[in-house]
Amino acid sequence: MQIDPMQTSRNDQADGCLARAWELLDRGEHLARQTGAEQAGHGLWLLAANAILRARDALEAIHPAAPARRGVDPPLERTCSELVRAAARQLASIPAGHEPAGLSLALFHLAQADHEVQGRSCS
């Protein structure tokens, strides 16, 4: 059986995008919880953190290997909103035809997380 190197490369690229998106959301969730503990009106930050958590967990549910590269390359994005949007960009850059089954479910939760962090500043 022959292995198509282009196919393998695109699979790797898809895995990389999913792992990176997971890491961005993990960082976003941590940041939102930290901000909630430090700022007044922490309740809304808890809800934002929970929304990011759901997006991250949905991603891991459809692609259990997503957390594998955790901590290799820390995100440069500084705010929750930037992190969530960067995660969305990562998912959008998965090569066509290599999207994992159920990706739209993760995107659904990502959109809700984006709505929650809109207009809030955390860093």
Contacts with another protein, residue ranges (CB under 8 A) = 26, 43-44, 46-47, 49-51, 53-54, 57-58, 60-62, 64, 67, 70, 101-105, 107-109, 111-112, 115-116, 118-120
**Shortest Cβ distance from residue 2 to another protein (Å)?**
25
CB under 8 Å to 99, separation ≥6 — which residues? 14
**Shortest Cβ distance from residue 17 to another protein (Å)?**
16
Distance CA 57, CA 59 (A): 5
- Reference 29, options 118, 117, 90; nearest CA is 117
**Shortest Cβ distance from residue 101 to another protein (Å)?**
5
Nearer to another protein, 60 or 69 (CB): 60
**Shortest Cβ distance from residue 71 to another protein (Å)?**
9
Q: Write down the residue that tokens 């207009």 correspond to.
A: 119
CB under 8 Å to 8, separation ≥6 — which residues? none
CB under 8 Å to 60, separation ≥6 — which residues? 22, 66, 67
Nearer to another protein, 25 or 86 (CB): 25
Nearer to another protein, 60 or 95 (CB): 60
